[in-house]
Amino acid sequence: MAKSTSRYFCKECGYESAKWLGQCPSCRAWNTFVEEPVVKASPASGFSRNTGTRPPRQRPVRVDEIALEKEDRISTGFQELDRVLGGGIVVGSMVLLGGDPGIGKSTILLEVSRNLAADDGKSVLYVSGEESLKQIKLRAERIRPISGDLHFMTETNIENIIETIREEKPDFVVIDSIQTMYTESVTAAPGSVSQVRESAAQLLRTAKECGIAIFLVGHVTKDGTVAGPKILEHMVDVVLFFEGESGSSLRILHGQKNRFGSTNEIAVFEMDGAGLHEVLNPSELLLSGRPIGASGSVVTCGMEGTRPLLIEIQGLLVPSAFNLPRRTANGIDYNRLNLLIAIVEKRLNLEIGKYDAYVNITGGLRIAEPSMDLAVIMALISSYMNIEIPEDVMIFGEVGLSGEVRAVSNADQRIEEAARLGFHKIVLPAFHMKKLRQPNLSACELVPVRSIREAVKILKK
């Protein structure tokens, strides 16, 4: 007979301990241990809890015996989402989608379900533990009419859900959300570490055995991480995060883990009263509303995976009223901003360290690559000198501690993106002039620079 005991689990990473600990030895977080009852299985632990029988043993196979077909990836109906997933949904995979409340997680999965059922003829099961069937229908009718083999179900018991999945055999399943589900094999409350881990484990086993793609919706904590143990992120195949600025209609989807593709890709969506719409040309949207004739505004090109994005960097320098000037970095690393300010002070002899410095990347994006160093410096100097940078100028390049402008990756794609959107002058590292595939662009003037001093001279012209 099963024996019930109590164990302590870390809410952040799922670390298990026999006693309460102030600090987790695994993730080093403080005061995260909670006590939860755990059911230990009887000696027949090798048998399945659901069926009471041992699952069939798999035979090892060679790589050349594994057959891959085109149908092993399913298109979601969104080009942007397919790119983030690495080309579509992989059959038998489990994907975790996290994001803030109201950001659009349920909306995008409902639209994906509709696309799969109506356009691709797939069988889809949408399981909700947070909304009633009437609430789901109201939301579905507000977006677009539902057609095809799409079924809805309100259930929180994992055993009942898995039984339905095995009977109906859908091609695609949505679980909204994993924190509301519970399994009878664990006595803890729904949403606890034990329940989330065991529920996800049973769903993962079902996805692999039946070859069904399953999407899990996950809540986030106050610090922006997916709620529940970190082991949940290790169990699933793909972890996606949906984010957006409050008051903005833009939604950005990026991958934090992907066993089938790159984690550097992003997808841009726009939210309106009719649901989510993918933005196929995010550069044009991100530059919309750019001020004309204002100092401190610079356009640069960042790479998100294989996609070049033209973004606007705004810099502002104002005299500080305190002995310790303020530094505010929105969208870039705070320490990187301090480093760039120090380079300008040392190499250009400009005393901007006495000023309050504010740098903002519009659109709610966060860019971590160093290719926008030169653009940040030019935005700050433009604000300091109160000199406008022409709106048809795009600037990119990494800046070293000696003030030199260094080469960056994918320079050809950055230049092509700027030329496509009508920029006539591109300031870039001099190194790229001998490496470009198309050094002579009729519509663009390429201005190579070797140091930030040369770039400032171009600004003063």
How far is residue 145 CA from its own chain's centroid?
28
* Residue 393 CB partners (closer than 8 Å, separation 6+): 298, 299, 423, 424, 425, 426, 427
State how far the Cα of 108 lies from the Cα of 104, in Å rounded to an integer.
Answer: 6
Q: Residue 378 is encoded by which pair of tokens?
A: 């030019």
Q: Regarding predicted confidence, which is higher, 232 or 68?
A: 232
Select, from the ranges 82-91, 395-404, 436-445, the one with the highest average predicted confidence (pLDDT). 395-404
Q: Which of 23-32, 36-45, 230-239, 313-322 has the lowest mean pLDDT?
A: 36-45
Class of domain 285-460: alpha beta
Amino acid 436: pLDDT:
74
Select, from the ranges 2-16, 119-133, 427-441, the one with the highest average predicted confidence (pLDDT). 119-133
Q: Which of 30-39, 133-142, 211-220, 327-336 has the lowest mean pLDDT?
A: 30-39
Strands 250-258, 266-272: pairing is antiparallel
Report whether pLDDT(362) > 80. Answer: yes
Q: Regarding predicted confidence, which is higher, 216 or 247?
A: 216
State how far the Cα of 226 lies from the Cα of 306, in Å rounded to an integer.
Answer: 26
Strands 393-395, 355-361: pairing is unpaired
Percent of the chain with pLDDT over 90: 39
Residue 105 φ then ψ, to 5°: -65, -50
Amino acid 184: pLDDT:
86
Amino acid 125: pLDDT:
95
Q: Residue 266 is encoded by which pair of tokens?
A: 């992003």
> pLDDT for 181-208, tens place per residue?
999 888 777 877 888 888 999 999 999 9
Report whether pLDDT(44) > 50. Answer: no
State how far the Cα of 368 lies from the Cα of 336, in Å rounded to an integer.
Answer: 9
* 3 state DSSP class of 372: helix
Report whether pLDDT(405) > 90. Answer: yes
Amino acid 447: pLDDT:
92
Amino acid 1: pLDDT:
40
Q: Where are the domains of the chain?
A: 1-44, 72-280, 285-460
Amino acid 247: pLDDT:
65
Q: Residue 162 is encoded by which pair of tokens?
A: 């898995």
State how far the Cα of 310 lies from the Cα of 287, in Å rounded to an integer.
Answer: 7
Identify whether the C-beta of residue 253 lies closer than 8 Å to the C-beta of residue 239: no
Of the candidates 435, 393, 392, 390, which has an alpha carbon nearest to the alpha carbon of residue 413?
A: 435
Select, from the ranges 47-51, 222-226, 276-280, the one with the highest average predicted confidence (pLDDT). 276-280
Q: What type of residue is 122?
A: K
State how far the Cα of 125 lies from the Cα of 113, in Å rounded to an integer.
Answer: 8
> pLDDT for 410-423, tens place per residue?
898 899 889 888 89
Q: Residue 345 is encoded by which pair of tokens?
A: 């002070």
Which CATH number applies to 72-280: 3.40.710.10, 3.30.9.10, 2.60.120.460, 3.40.50.300?
3.40.50.300
* Residue 183 CB partners (closer than 8 Å, separation 6+): 157, 158, 159, 195, 198, 199, 202
Identify whether the C-beta of residue 266 lies closer than 8 Å to the C-beta of residue 254: yes
Percent of the chain with pLDDT over 70: 89
Amino acid 420: pLDDT:
86
Q: Regarding predicted confidence, which is higher, 226 or 153?
A: 153
State how far the Cα of 227 lies from the Cα of 34, in Å rounded to an integer.
Answer: 14
Q: Which of 116-125, 174-183, 362-371, 388-397 has the lowest mean pLDDT?
A: 362-371
Q: What is the mean pLDDT of residues 373-385?
A: 95
How many Cβ atoms from other residues are within 10 Å of residue 303's Cβ? Answer: 19
Amino acid 42: pLDDT:
45
Report whether pLDDT(43) > 80. Answer: no
Q: Regarding predicted confidence, which is higher, 248 or 17?
A: 17
Q: Residue 148 is encoded by which pair of tokens?
A: 């095809």
Q: What is the mean pLDDT of the chain?
A: 85
State how far the Cα of 137 lies from the Cα of 248, in Å rounded to an integer.
Answer: 26
> pLDDT for 228-268, tens place per residue?
556 788 889 999 988 876 667 788 888 888 998 888 788 88
Q: What type of residue is 415?
A: I
Q: What is the mean pLDDT of residues 386-409?
A: 93
